[in-house]
Structure 1
Amino acid sequence: MAMEALTVMFKNGCNNGVFKGFQMSNEGPLISHLLFADDALLVGEWSVTNVQSLSRLLRVLKLVFGLNINLSKTTLFGVGVNFQNVKAMADIFHCKAGEVPFLYLGIKAVLECLPSYYFSLYQAPVKILEILEAKRRRFLWRGSEEKKKTCWVAWKRITSAKEDGGLGLCPLKDSNLAFLSKWWWRFKVEEDSLWKKVIMSIHHTPRSWPIISNNKRLNGTWDKIVKIEKSLTTYQVSLTDSIKGRVGNRSKVRFWLDIWLTEDRLKNQFPTLLSLEAKKSCVVADRCILTDGNYSIKWNWKSQPMYGVAVNELIEILDLLYYFRFKGGEDKWVWGGEALDSFSVATMKKLLYRVDTPCPNSILDWNSWVPMKVNAIVWRAIQNSLPTCDNLIKRKILFGPDICCNCLAAGESVDHIFVSCYVACVVWQRIGRWCNIHTSQIKDVQGLLVAVNQVPEVEHKRKVTYSIVMTAIWCLWETRNKFIFENKPVKIDKMLGDIKPLLPSWELPWIHIHQYERFSINKGYENHDRHIPRFGLGEVWQGWSSGYMKNEHNVIGPFVDHGIVVVRYRKDKYGNDICIHQELVWGNGMDDGME
Structure 2
Amino acid sequence: MGGGGNGDVRKLHWVAWETVATPKDKGGLGVSRLFDCNRALISKWLWRCVSEKKSMWKGIINAIHCSKRKWDMFPINGSYSSGWINIVKEGYKLKVNGSSFIRLIKCEVGNGEYSRFWVDDWAPFGVLKEGFPALFKLEVNKHCAVCERLTKVGDTLVNIWSWKKHPSTPEEVQQMLTLLSLLQQVRFKQGADLWKWGGHPSGSFSVAVVRNWLASSRPVVNQVYFDWCKWVPIKCNIFMWRLLMKRLPTKVALLKRNILIDDSRCAFCGDGDDEVDHVFTGCAFAASVWNGILGWLGIPNYFSFSVSDLGNMHKIDGLSATRKDTIRGMVMVCCWRIWRARNDVVFNHRRSNVVEVAAEVKAFGFLWFSNRHKDFVKDWKGWSNVMLL
Q: TM-score, normalised by structure 1?
A: 0.60
Q: Which has the larger radius of gyration?
A: 1
Residue 81 (structure 1) aligns with: none
Q: Give a deviation string over 1:89-125, Cα, whole Å, max 9, x none.
A: xxxxxxxxxxxxxxxxxxxxxxxxxxxxxxxxxxxxx
Question: 1:321 offset after TM fit, Å?
Answer: 2.2
Q: Is 1:295 equivalent to 2:89 in the alignment? A: no
Residue 22 (structure 2) aligns with: 160
Q: Is 1:270 equivalent to 2:64 in the alignment? A: no
Give the alignment of 1:31-180 within 5 angstroms. Answer: 141-142=3-4, 146-180=8-42
Q: 1:454 to 1:351 in 2, by over 3 A?
A: farther
What one-letter code is carried by the residue in structure 2 that aligns with 1:180? I
Residue 586 (structure 1) aligns with: 380
Conserved in 1, the CA contact under 8 Å of 2:377 and 2:383? no
Structure with greater strand share of residues: 1
Instruction: Pick from 200, 203, 211 the counterpart of residue 349 of structure 1.
Output: 211
Conserved in 2, the CA contact under 8 Å of 1:246 and 1:334? yes
Question: 1:289 offset after TM fit, Å?
Answer: 0.9
Q: Give a deviation string over 1:372-431, Cα, whole Å, max 9, x none.
A: 211111111111110111101111213322211123221111122222222222333333
Between stretches 354-363 and 238-247, larger displacement belongs to 354-363
Q: 1:206 to 1:456 in 2, by over 3 A?
A: farther
Instruction: Pick from 243, 246, 251 the counterpart of residue 384 of structure 1.
Output: 246
Instruction: Pick from 239, 248, 257 the counterpart of residue 395 of structure 1.
Output: 257
Residue 280 (structure 1) aligns with: 142
Q: TM-score, normalised by structure 2?
A: 0.90
Q: Give a deviation string over 1:417-469, Cα, whole Å, max 9, x none.
A: 22222222233333333334476343322332223134533433322221111
Structure with greater helix share of residues: 2
In 2, distance between residues paired with 1:224 and 1:209? 17
What one-letter code is carried by the residue in structure 1 that aligns with 2:4? R
What one-letter code is carried by the residue in structure 1 that aligns with 2:200? E
Q: Which runs of 5+ in 1 are unaligned?
A: 1-136, 513-565, 568-580
Residue 371 (structure 2) aligns with: 511
Question: 1:591 offset after TM fit, Å?
Answer: 7.0
Question: 1:473 offset after TM fit, Å?
Answer: 1.1
Q: Is 1:210 equivalent to 2:4 in the alignment? A: no
Question: 1:235 offset after TM fit, Å?
Answer: 6.9
Conserved in 1, the CA contact under 8 Å of 2:28 and 2:221? no
Residue 90 (structure 2) aligns with: 228
In 2, distance between residues paired with 1:585 and 1:313? 71
Residue 371 (structure 1) aligns with: 233
Question: 1:145 offset after TM fit, Å?
Answer: 7.5
Residue 170 (structure 2) aligns with: 308
Q: Which has the higher contact order (CA 8 A, sep 6+)?
A: 2
In 2, distance between residues paired with 1:357 and 1:299? 49
Q: Which runs of 5+ in 2 are unaligned?
A: none
Q: 1:259 to 1:387 in 2, by over 3 A?
A: same
Question: 1:245 offset after TM fit, Å?
Answer: 0.4
Please give the secondary structure, in 2, of the residue aligned with 1:511: helix
Q: 1:447 to 1:495 in 2, by over 3 A?
A: same
Please give the secondary structure, in 2, of the residue aligned with 1:334: strand
In 2, distance between residues paired with 1:582 and 1:432? 18
Question: 1:315 offset after TM fit, Å?
Answer: 2.8
Q: Give a deviation string over 1:173-202, Cα, whole Å, max 9, x none.
A: 222212111111111112212222222222
In 2, distance between residues paired with 1:265 and 1:476? 61
Please give the secondary structure, in 2, of the residue aligned with 1:333: strand
Instruction: Pick from 198, 201, 225 the counterpart of residue 339 of structure 1.
Output: 201
Give the alignment of 1:408-423 within 5 angstroms. Answer: 408-423=270-285
Conserved in 2, the CA contact under 8 Å of 1:404 and 1:410? yes
Conserved in 2, the CA contact under 8 Å of 1:406 and 1:480? yes
Q: 1:299 to 1:453 in 2, by over 3 A?
A: farther
Question: 1:494 offset after TM fit, Å?
Answer: 0.9
Give the alignment of 1:421-570 within 5 angstroms. Answer: 421-437=283-299, 440-503=302-365, 511=371, 566-567=373-374
In 1, distance between residues paired with 2:251 and 2:104? 51
Cα RMSD of the aligned pairs, angstroms, is 2.7
In 2, distance between residues paired with 1:458 and 1:296? 60
Please give the secondary structure, in 1, of the residue aligned with 2:312: helix
Q: Give a deviation string over 1:346-384, Cα, whole Å, max 9, x none.
A: 222222233244542213222221122111111111111
What one-letter code is carried by the residue in structure 1 that aligns with 2:269? C
In 2, distance between residues paired with 1:326 and 1:215? 33
Please give the secondary structure, in 1, of the residue aligned with 2:184: helix
In 2, distance between residues paired with 1:464 and 1:430? 16
Conserved in 2, the CA contact under 8 Å of 1:437 and 1:455? no
